[in-house]
A and B are shown apart, each in its own frame.
Chain A
Amino acid sequence: MSETLNFVENDLQLMALGFMALVYILRIRWLLKYKASKDRQAPAGTVGTSSFKGIVYSWANIAMPWSMESTRRMFFFYLQFVVFHLAVAANITMSFVIPYAPDLMRPTAVYRLLQLLFAAACVIGCLRMYRRLTNPAIRLISTPDDIFSLALLTVWSFASIFAAPNNYEQGEGALTTYFIMTAFFLAYVPFSKISHYLYYPFTRFYFGRTMGHRGVYPMKRSAVPKPTSV
Chain B
Amino acid sequence: MIESARTYKANKVVERMGKKLNRQIVGSLTACVHCGMCTESCHYVLANPDDPTYAPAYKADQIRKIFKRNYDWTGRVFPWWVHAEDIRTDEDLHKLKDIVFGKCTNCRRCSINCPMGVDFATLNRMARGLLVSVGIMPEGVAVVSKDQWEVGNQMGVLPQEYLETLEWLSDELESEFGDPAARIPIDKMDADIVYTINPREVKYDPRTITDAARIFYVAGANWTMPSEGWDMTNFGLFSGDDDLGGAAAQRVYDKVIELRGKKLVISECGHGYRSTRCEGPNWAGKETPVVMESSVLTMLRYIKEGRIRLDKSRNKESYTFHDSCNNARSCGFFEEPRELLNLVVSDFREMYPNRTENYCCTGGGGAMSMSEYTPERLKSAKIKADQLKATGTKVVVTSCHNCVDGLSDVIKHYKLGMKVEQLVSLTANAMVVPERAAVAVPVAVALPLQGYKILVVDDEPDILLFLSTVLEDQGATVIQAADGEQALELTLREKPDLVTLDLSMPGKNGGYVFEEIRNNPEIATTKVFIITGKPELRRLIYERPIPPDGYLDKPIDQDALLNNIRMVLELKHAHKLSS
Contact = CB atoms under 8 A, between A and B. Distances in A.
Interface of A: 31-32, 34-42, 44-46, 49, 58, 61-62, 68-71, 73-74, 77, 81, 135-146, 191, 193, 196, 199-200, 202-204, 206-208, 210-211, 214-216, 219-226, 228-230
Nearest to A49: B332
A35 B23 contact: yes
A216 B329 contact: yes
A136 B358 CA distance: 26
Contacts of A81: 35, 115
B30 A141 contact: no
B497 interface: no
Contacts of A36: 22-24
B40 A70 contact: yes
A-B CB proximity, top 4 nearest: A215-B332, A45-B332, A228-B392, A230-B392
Given A31-B23, A34-B26, A143-B82, A214 B113 contact: no
Nearest to A43: B332
Interface of B: 21-28, 30-41, 45, 50, 52-53, 55, 57-58, 61, 74, 78, 80-83, 111-119, 277-282, 285-287, 291-292, 318, 328-336, 349-358, 390-393
Contact of B31 (A37, A69, A135, A199): A199
B279 A41 contact: yes
A140 B55 contact: yes
Contacts of A208: 117
Contact of A225 (B25, B286, B351, B358): B351
B53 A203 contact: no
A136 B390 CA distance: 30
Nearest to B323: A222
A108 to B, nearest CB: 35
Contacts of A144: 80-82
A191 B74 contact: yes
A45 B333 contact: yes
Contacts of B351: 225
A223 B282 CA distance: 32
B386 to A, nearest CB: 13
Nearest to B83: A143
Nearest to B356: A219
A193 B33 contact: yes
A41 B355 contact: no
Contacts of A136: 50, 52
Nearest to B276: A41
Given A34-B26, A219-B356, A200 B81 contact: no
Nearest to A58: B117
Nearest to A229: B392
B33 to A, nearest CB: 5
Contact of A37 (B22, B81, B332, B357): B22
8 contacts: A37-B22, A42-B292, A44-B332, A45-B332, A211-B332, A219-B356, A225-B350, A225-B391
Given A145-B81, A191-B74, A216-B332, A70 B113 contact: yes
Given A137-B36, A145-B81, A203 B117 contact: yes
Contacts of A203: 24, 27-28, 31, 116-119
B139 to A, nearest CB: 30
B203 to A, nearest CB: 28
Given A46-B334, A204-B117, 13 more contacts: A31-B23, A34-B21, A41-B277, A70-B114, A146-B33, A193-B34, A200-B116, A202-B31, A203-B28, A204-B116, A222-B354, A228-B349, A229-B392
Contacts of B355: 220-223
Contact of B37 (A34, A40, A71, A206): A71
Nearest to A136: B52
Of listed B332, B357, B392, residue having the most chain A CB within 10 A: B332
B37 A70 contact: yes
Nearest to A47: B335
A213 to B, nearest CB: 9
A31 B27 contact: yes
